[in-house]
């Protein structure tokens, strides 16, 4: 049989219909109302290539050198051509079309989603193996082609690369396809089957008119219904003003946004009977999975459908033991207050020991990017290599680190890169992990040898031959303890001293420094480590899942610091980083991505993912994280700010009542500070990594000009000084969150100029606190002398 109805399969059928189809079948089997559909089995793909006789040619076309990118590209094209141009056997074509037609009405063709469904025989990590194709709103004309496109997704360059690298035969891999009816909803929304923070037996339903995208993306404020499962009654109903709705254009199948007519705008979306039905569904789903769920649902012609169900990830583990201050409330959550204070002392870090060696021993040198001296065996890692080869205590040597290398970076005793400056990914992440690092060596991967014993000095920026006895990676090295100040007394300063965080895993280490808050929380790492572009991730997993990922990361930091403020920044990754991800094939190829389509420019041009970031922040505000502030990168002028505030309002974040601000990273933004202040910013934060590169025309990631990268250049200082002066006149707070905030000379200058706060690297916080205090006291003394 070429095709199987979803209702005829279950979790045991992964080998036949792939994981996606098997889990949908399982839900249908549990009596849950999943939209109908069928799977084109993995065997059908196999018979297709074998009967048409293209199998041998296909497998030999993709048997190429994985390091040869031209050959990889040609292999992908040839495989796609072979699959797309080979006609379907008649009986398979008929079977697929016959099933499809059964899903439509008499005279209306069904709109379906067509998705690849990976089988268990493939690599364990199928996200790297491709096979993630999804096509929405497909009709009969395109259906067969889309099925073949899913098959062809077995042979993307990335998938070919991985199988070739690991010696996994292409002939052993099969793929199935799911074809499922799309629900043209009149009303839809989301439901939490238990309280999303405390886990209490309380169901929260959000509902709006039309398709679910409007609720999930935060475009519309939905009605909110709270149901007490213990008492079995609706406890609270809040009817929102629902200005817009998303509907499907009957002709094109595209989703369009319409104004809601006056009558329905303030009308209740769900009747009591519908709430009862949703509640019953919610309880069944939770029972089936044995854990609270976050469900996307839709209602079409009186029928409820379950589109997706995911476990709620935000329930606090210790929620049950806490006093629930807002039990019986309207769904607001109180963030847990961190117990991490600034008073405890701990042992000094183990990685700082070590004696300087002979210059003659220096094998390669670069920039000392993360302090500490450590010895270990070299492990060379190339871009798409497998990272499990980096063992605890190795010195990882690579061209440049990437987000998916972080687990390996954590295991490594030290890190050496060919490329990058002090503000590169490798430098930032190693500092946060507390792993000594030398970056921008130019030729480390060529000069060092796998297995060779070396000692790296992350202060001096050298890699020496041999082992330094005092620099063995200490088993007792405890990153959090190492970040804790040795003396419990924190210098009291009028200028606040905060800390920068780029990976949520570093939250505890950052909080242990006793900093006054987080001056910059980057979200790039949270996004890039998903392995897919935001657009691709949202296509495949839904907008809410994307928001959930961000919420999980931001929350980890916001919890750790509460009630100290945390400034979270919207995404700022350059196109060359997006192009490394799945779905990044179409990224523009820019001559200098640093001058290109990044930061707020990209967010405003292509606001889909940007809206989800804001929707995630809005949800965090709703959960009670009133310590969050939102910051926007690479802003140039007031026009950018006008566009930003429009998006904030759309997402339900009122710029008047929430604290938000911009980075000062371009000379334009410094020169336009008065206009930015008048446009309503609460704070301006100097991103000196970018401000220096744009003022001096020195690419921050280019090791050839690294010696010209000078954050203390008079031109940079003049822009900063003038901006602080204007901000003080206009009542706007100023801060620094670039790398230079960790330098004593910059700290002196900023305190002199009257900056409101300074945000430093984890390892520099305590020194900066002392430096600030010294400068403040000098200023006081000067004033009385």
Catalytic residues: 425, 737
Among ligand PEP, Mg ion, none, the one that 688 touches (CB under a kind-dependent 5 to 8 A) is: ligand PEP
Number of residues engaging ligand PEP in binding (CB under 6 A)? 11
Residue 761 as a binder of ligand PEP (CB under 6 A): the answer is no
Identified binder of ligand PEP from the candidate list 522, 525, 532, 611, rule CB under 6 A: 522
By beta-carbon proximity to ligand PEP, the closer residue of 352 and 738 is: 738
Q: Minimum Å distance from CB 685 to ligand PEP?
A: 8
In DSSP notation, 10-40 reads: -GGGHHHHHHHHHHHHHHHHTT--PPPEEEE
Instruction: In the chain, count H helices and then E strands.
Output: 28, 29
By beta-carbon proximity to ligand PEP, the closer residue of 373 and 691 is: 691
By beta-carbon proximity to ligand PEP, the closer residue of 32 and 520 is: 520
Contact 461, 365 (CB under 8 A): yes
Q: Minimum Å distance from CB 693 to ligand PEP?
A: 8
What character string, x for contact with Mg ion (CB under 5 A) and - otherwise, covers 626-665? Answer: ---------------------------------------x
Compute the distance between CA of residue 423 and CA of residue 403 in angstroms, rounded to an integer: 15
Place of tokens 């993995």: 42
Q: Which residues in 34-63 contact ligand PEP (CB under 6 A)?
A: none
Pick from 467, 437, 232: which is nearest to 361 by CA? 467
Q: Minimum Å distance from CB 435 to ligand PEP?
A: 19
What character string, x for contact with ligand PEP (CB under 6 A) and - otherwise, covers 672-711? Answer: ---------------xxxx---------------------
Compute the distance between CA of residue 554 and CA of residue 627 in angstroms, rounded to an integer: 11
Angle at which helices 543-561 and 534-541 pack, to 10 degrees?
110
Q: Which residues in 205-234 contact ligand PEP (CB under 6 A)?
A: none
What character string, x for contact with ligand PEP (CB under 6 A) and - otherwise, covers 473-512? Answer: ----------------------------------------
**Alpha-helical regions (H) of 210-331:** 213-216, 262-265, 272-289
Residue 687 as a binder of Mg ion (CB under 5 A): the answer is yes
CA atoms within 13 A on the CB side of 340: 26
Number of residues engaging Mg ion in binding (CB under 5 A)? 3
Residue 738 as a binder of ligand PEP (CB under 6 A): the answer is yes
Q: Minimum Å distance from CB 743 to Mg ion?
A: 16
By beta-carbon proximity to ligand PEP, the closer residue of 365 and 572 is: 572
Contact 681, 731 (CB under 8 A): no
Contact 362, 463 (CB under 8 A): yes
Residue 690 as a binder of Mg ion (CB under 5 A): the answer is yes
Return the SS3 of 291: coil
By beta-carbon proximity to Mg ion, the closer residue of 282 and 661 is: 661
Among Mg ion, ligand PEP, none, the one that 520 touches (CB under a kind-dependent 5 to 8 A) is: ligand PEP
Identified binder of ligand PEP from the candidate list 737, 746, 760, 772, rule CB under 6 A: 737
In DSSP notation, 151-205 reads: HHGGG-HHHHHHHHHHT--GGG--EEEEEEEPP--SEEEEEESS-TTT--SEEEE
The neighbour count for residue 605, using CB atoms within 10 Å, is 9
Q: Minimum Å distance from CB 670 to Mg ion?
A: 13
Q: Minimum Å distance from CB 135 to ligand PEP?
A: 35
| Torsion of Cα atoms, 741 then 747 then 753 then 757, to 10° | 50
Q: Minimum Å distance from CB 664 to Mg ion?
A: 10
Residue 432 as a binder of ligand PEP (CB under 6 A): the answer is no
Contact 736, 716 (CB under 8 A): no
CA atoms within 13 A on the CB side of 685: 32
Pick from 25, 81, 19: which is nearest to 54 by CA? 81
Q: Minimum Å distance from CB 530 to ligand PEP?
A: 18
Compute the distance between CA of residue 422 and CA of residue 438 in angstroms, rounded to an integer: 9
Compute the distance between CA of residue 507 and CA of residue 511 in angstroms, rounded to an integer: 6
Identified binder of ligand PEP from the candidate list 274, 365, 481, 665, rule CB under 6 A: 665
Angle at which helices 140-152 and 69-85 pack, to 10 degrees?
140
Residues of this chain that interact with Mg ion (CB under 5 A) are 665, 687, 690
Residues of this chain that interact with ligand PEP (CB under 6 A) are 423, 520, 522, 572, 665, 687-690, 737-738
């Amino acid at each position: 049989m070429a095709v199987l109805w979803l209702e005829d399969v279950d979790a045991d059928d992964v080998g036949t219909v792939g994981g996606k189809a098997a889990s949908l079948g399982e839900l249908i089997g549990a009596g849950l109302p999943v939209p109908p559909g069928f799977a084109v089995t993995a065997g059908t793909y196999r018979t297709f290539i074998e009967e048409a006789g293209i199998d041998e040619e296909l497998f030999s076309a993709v048997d190429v050198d994985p390091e040869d990118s031209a050959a990889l590209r040609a292999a992908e094209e040839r495989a796609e051509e072979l699959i797309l141009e080979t006609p379907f056997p008649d009986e398979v074509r008929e079977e697929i079309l016959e099933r499809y037609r059964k899903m439509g009405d008499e005279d209306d063709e069904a709109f379906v989603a067509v998705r690849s469904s990976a089988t268990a025989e493939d690599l364990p990590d199928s996200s790297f193996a491709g096979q993630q194709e999804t096509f929405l709103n497909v009709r009969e004309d395109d259906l067969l082609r889309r099925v073949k496109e899913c098959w062809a997704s077995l042979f993307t360059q990335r998938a070919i690369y991985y199988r070739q690298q690991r010696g996994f035969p292409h002939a052993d891999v099969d793929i199935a396809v799911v074809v499922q009816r799309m629900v043209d909803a009149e009303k839809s929304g989301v439901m939490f089957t238990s309280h999303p923070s405390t886990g209490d037996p309380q169901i929260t339903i959000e509902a709006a008119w039309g398709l679910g995208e409007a609720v999930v993306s935060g475009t519309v404020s939905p009605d909110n219904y709270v149901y007490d499962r213990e008492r079995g009654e609706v406890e609270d109903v809040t009817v929102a003003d629902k200005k817009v709705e998303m509907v499907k254009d009957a002709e094109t199948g595209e989703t369009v946004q319409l104004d809601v007519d006056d009558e329905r705008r303030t009308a209740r979306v769900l009747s009591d009977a519908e709430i009862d039905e949703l509640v019953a569904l919610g309880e069944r789903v939770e029972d089936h999975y044995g854990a609270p769920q976050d469900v996307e649902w839709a209602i079409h012609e009186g029928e409820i459908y379950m589109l997706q169900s995911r476990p709620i990830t935000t329930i606090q583990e210790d929620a049950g033991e806490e006093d629930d201050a807002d039990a019986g409330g309207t769904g607001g959550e109180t963030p847990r207050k961190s117990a991490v204070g600034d008073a405890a002392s701990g042992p000094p870090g183990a990685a700082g020991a070590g004696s300087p060696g002979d210059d003659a021993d220096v094998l390669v040198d670069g920039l000392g990017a993360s302090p500490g001296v450590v010895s270990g065996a070299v492990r060379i890692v190339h871009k798409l290599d497998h990272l499990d080869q980096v063992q605890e205590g190795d010195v990882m040597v690579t061209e440049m680190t990437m987000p998916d290398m972080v687990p390996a970076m954590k295991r490594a005793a030290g890190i050496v890169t060919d490329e990058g400056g002090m503000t590169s990914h490798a430098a930032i992440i190693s500092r946060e992990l507390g792993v000594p690092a030398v970056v921008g060596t130019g030729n480390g991967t060529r000069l060092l040898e796998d297995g060779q014993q070396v000692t790296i000095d992350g202060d001096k920026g050298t890699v020496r031959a041999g082992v330094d006895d005092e620099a063995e990676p200490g088993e007792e090295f405890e990153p959090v303890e190492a970040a804790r100040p040795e003396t419990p007394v924190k210098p009291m300063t009028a200028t606040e001293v905060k800390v920068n965080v780029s990976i949520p895993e570093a939250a505890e280490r950052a909080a242990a420094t006793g900093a006054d808050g987080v001056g910059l929380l980057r979200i790039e790492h949270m996004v890039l480590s998903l392995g897919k572009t935001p657009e691709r991730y949202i296509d495949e997993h839904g907008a809410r899942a994307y928001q959930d990922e961000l919420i999980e990361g931001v929350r980890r930091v916001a919890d750790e610091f509460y009630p100290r403020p945390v400034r979270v920044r919207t995404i700022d990754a350059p196109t060359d980083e997006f192009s490394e991800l799945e779905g990044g094939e179409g990224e523009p190829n820019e001559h200098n991505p640093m001058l290109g389509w990044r930061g707020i420019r990209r967010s405003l041009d292509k606001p889909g993912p940007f809206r989800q970031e804001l929707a995630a922040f809005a949800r965090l505000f709703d959960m009670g994280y009133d310590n969050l502030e939102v910051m926007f990168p690479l802003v140039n002028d007031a026009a950018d700010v006008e566009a930003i505030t429009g998006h904030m309002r759309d997402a339900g974040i009122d710029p008047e009542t929430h604290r938000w601000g911009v980075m000062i990273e371009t000379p334009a933004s410094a020169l336009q500070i008065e206009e930015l202040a008048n446009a309503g910013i609460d704070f301006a934060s100097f991103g000196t990594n970018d401000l220096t590169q744009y003022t001096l025309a020195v690419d921050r990631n280019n090791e050839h000009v690294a010696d010209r990268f000078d954050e203390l250049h008079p031109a940079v200082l003049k822009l900063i000084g003038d901006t602080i002066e204007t901000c003080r006149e206009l009542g706007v707070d100023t801060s620094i969150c670039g790398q230079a905030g960790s330098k004593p000379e910059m700290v002196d200058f900023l305190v002199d100029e009257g900056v409101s706060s300074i945000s430093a690297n984890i390892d520099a916080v305590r020194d900066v606190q002392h430096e600030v205090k010294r400068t403040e006291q000098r200023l006081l003394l000067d004033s009385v002398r």
